Amino acid sequence: MAEYLIKNGFVFDPVLGIKGDATDIAIKDGKIVETTAIRSPKIIDATGKTVLAGGVDVHAHVAGPKVNIGRNFRPEDKLFTYKPGRGIERMQGGFSVPTVIRTGYNYARMGYTTVMEAAMPPLYARHTHEEMRDTPILDQGAFPVFGNNWFVLEYLKNHEIENTVAYIAWLLRATKGYAVKVVNPGGTEAWAWGLNCENIHDPVPYFDITPAQIVKGLIEANEYLGLPHSMHVHANNLGNPGNYTTTLDTFKLSEGIKPNSKFGRDQVMHHTHVQFHSYGGDSWANVESKAKEIMDYVNSHDNITIDMGQVTLDETTTMTADGPFEHHLTELNHLKWANADVELETGSGVVPYIYSPSIKVCAIQWCIGLELALLAKDPMRVFMTTDHPNAGPFIRYPRIMKWLMSREAREQQFDAFKHKDKVIDATNLAGIDRELDLYEIAQMTRAGPAKALGLAHMYGGLAPGLDADVAVFDFNPNEPYAPDDIEKAFGNARHLFKTGVQVISDHEVVSNGNKRTLWVNARVNENPQVMRDVKEKFLRYYTVTLNNYEVTGHHYLPNPYVIEVDATE
């Protein structure tokens, strides 16, 4: 493979501890190497530019059936957004629920090279993998959802951790999944009965287990297996005024549990899109930010990580396996609603949503997301996301960088709010002076998420031995700049390397890359009971047979990257 030397750029890299010093980065055989290890490299002059590792998105909805429901029932989202194919680029379309082709290219343009699909219904794992397969450039993995799964509910109710572990290992293999995802634990199953679980002690109908038992049991199972990533949770009571107490209660379920993983992560719980879970008040009239209370907890407990779920003030498409929440949302905004049930496993809902700067609640949500990041003491544990597309499309990451890096940009946005004074009263943001630097941004978007995913040995930095995922941006941090220059530069990478292949050259996509699908093969002791239960449930309840369920073969994963975990005794 070609050798490259990216010369003299301002490098920001938490792994090497470089904070903007002009540094040369060498690439050989798909890896970062010492500059002395290359002989006749192609020189990329990065003088006056910023160099970062490829971005890592810990949580986005970019592939699978509910994304496709969004695409199908929102043709208006694609109106006037089509771009014909040109050169290596294939035809693209869509805004908040773009085609997979556009998903790959748009992430690449922002300098991202790894994106995790945050909720894969196991029954539709095949569809999810087909979409990831067709997403160019990006390395991807998908998190199967476990928090409303009948096997898990039954095993955990009976305190059968070893059976839970064996089932998780089987399902990760069957679906080629990456991590244990939990969405509204118990609540989505309750929704199949027309109910919900509104706090962590609200029992699930029929199964008679609480969300607290589900979350705690899955953390224990996750650590028993020693998976690369921790249990990844979207807690109960999302999006409701006063829900921050449920969030804190959920956080506390991680207390006293230590990580057991050889992959270098320090957390046992990742709580996602915390913005949606940090509301005070008891109605939409008096909803207020509880980001401070949330971050006080996060800052003082190092066994949890979170991501923002930043509202971007766009028209978007909300979609989640949290079925009851989407019903709640369509009752609020009276826009169209889609609902799906996934047999023994999960469900989902989809509703379009307009986050308007003229609506007080939307502006408060915008403040809360930014507060989470700006109140973070350790940027290695607080990651930038929009819970794409729920709080906004991922293409707004450069705009979020602008808001985080510039108080002036935040003030401009405050001035554009219709209810500016009420918003300031209900939030903390106006009193926060902090402006993040690119080193902290690199922690929140590269090194931090890579470490939390257990992928610090591949991604997130520019140290020799890591994958050569490197982005070069037209941004000189040492010269004066306007806030909008940040958004412009980081939305349009000048160069991007993905595993040593140059995929963007002078802002043009020049290669569809060498996309890989990551999955975790966890080996456990043979467990005849679980295999008997699986066979029985497929015979009795599932509409498909096991043969039509498992994800196998080249068709679904033409370029797999398997991470082996041995939990046998």
Partner 1 sequence: METVTLTIKNQPGLYLEADSITPDAFAGKKAEEIAALPVYVGREEHRLGDFFEVSGKAGATPEETKIIVNGDLSRVKYIGMKMTAGEVVVNGNADMYVGAWMQGGRITVNGNVDAFAGTGMKGGELLIKGNAGNYLGAAYRGDWRGMTGGKIVVSGNAGSDLGTFMNGGEIIVGGDVDVHVATHAEGGKIVIKGNAKSRLGGQMVEGEIYVFGTIDVMMPGFAYRKDVDIEVDGTKGRFALYEGDLGERHRKRKGQAIYGKLYQRVEA
- Taking the complex as a whole, the smallest distance from the CB of residue 73 to partner 1 amounts, in Å, to 7
Query: For residue 484, what are the contacts with CB-CB under 8 A and spacing of at least 6?
Result: 402, 409
Structure tokens at 195: 């109910």
- Taking the complex as a whole, the smallest distance from the CB of residue 335 to partner 1 amounts, in Å, to 6
143 and 179 in contact (C-beta within 8 Å)? yes
Nearer to partner 1, 90 or 271 (CB): 90
Residue 334-353 contact track with partner 1, rule CB under 8 A, x = bound: xxx-----------------
The three-state secondary structure class of 219 is helix
- Taking the complex as a whole, the smallest distance from the CB of residue 102 to partner 1 amounts, in Å, to 16
Residue ranges in 348-407 that form contacts with partner 1 under rule CB under 8 A = none
87 sits near partner 1 (criterion: CB under 8 A): no
Of residues 1, 79, 88, 416, which one binds partner 1 by CB under 8 A?
79
Of 199, 92, 190, the residue nearest 148 (C-alpha): 190
Among 76-84, 360-368, 407-415, 542-550, the segment contacting partner 1 (CB under 8 A): 76-84
What residues pair up with 354 in beta bridges, in sequence order? Answer: 315
Q: Where are the alpha helices (DSSP H) in 53-186?
A: 65-73, 100-109, 125-133, 150-157, 161-175
77 sits near partner 1 (criterion: CB under 8 A): yes
- Taking the complex as a whole, the smallest distance from the CB of residue 74 to partner 1 amounts, in Å, to 6
Of residues 28, 74, 216, 498, which one binds partner 1 by CB under 8 A?
74
86 sits near partner 1 (criterion: CB under 8 A): no
88 sits near partner 1 (criterion: CB under 8 A): no
131 and 93 in contact (C-beta within 8 Å)? no
Of residues 29, 45, 76, 255, which one binds partner 1 by CB under 8 A?
76
84 sits near partner 1 (criterion: CB under 8 A): yes
Nearer to partner 1, 74 or 277 (CB): 74
- Taking the complex as a whole, the smallest distance from the CB of residue 75 to partner 1 amounts, in Å, to 4
Nearer to partner 1, 85 or 465 (CB): 85
Q: How far apart are CA 294 and CA 276, in angstroms?
A: 12
Nearer to partner 1, 315 or 437 (CB): 315
Residue ranges in 245-274 that form contacts with partner 1 under rule CB under 8 A = none
Nearer to partner 1, 82 or 541 (CB): 82
* Angle at the Cα of 524 from the Cα atoms of 454 and 528, rounded to 5 degrees: 145
Among 34-42, 69-77, 405-413, 540-548, the segment contacting partner 1 (CB under 8 A): 69-77
108 and 495 in contact (C-beta within 8 Å)? no
531 sits near partner 1 (criterion: CB under 8 A): no
Structure tokens at 299: 């800052």
What is the bridge-based pairing of β-strands 560-566 and 517-523?
Answer: parallel
Residue 419-438 contact track with partner 1, rule CB under 8 A, x = bound: --------------------
- Running DSSP on this structure, what letter comes out for residue 89? B
What is the bridge-based pairing of β-strands 470-473 and 50-53?
Answer: antiparallel
Q: How far apart are CA 7 and CA 28, in angstroms?
A: 14
Among 68-76, 172-180, 181-189, 365-373, the segment contacting partner 1 (CB under 8 A): 68-76
438 and 52 in contact (C-beta within 8 Å)? yes
Nearer to partner 1, 69 or 238 (CB): 69
Nearer to partner 1, 82 or 561 (CB): 82
Q: Label residue 542 exposed, middle or buried (CB < 10 Å: 0-12, 13-18, 19+).
A: middle
- Taking the complex as a whole, the smallest distance from the CB of residue 302 to partner 1 amounts, in Å, to 46
Nearer to partner 1, 85 or 558 (CB): 85
73 sits near partner 1 (criterion: CB under 8 A): yes
Q: Quick check: bond before 389 cis, omega within 30?
A: yes
Nearer to partner 1, 334 or 554 (CB): 334
Nearer to partner 1, 356 or 412 (CB): 356
The three-state secondary structure class of 170 is helix
Residue burial 25-47, b: 16+ Cβ < 10 Å; e: rest:
bbbbebbbbeeeebeebeebebe
3-state secondary structure 307-322: ECCCCCCCEEEEEECC
Interacting residues toward partner 1 by CB under 8 A: 73-77, 79, 84-85, 91, 334-336
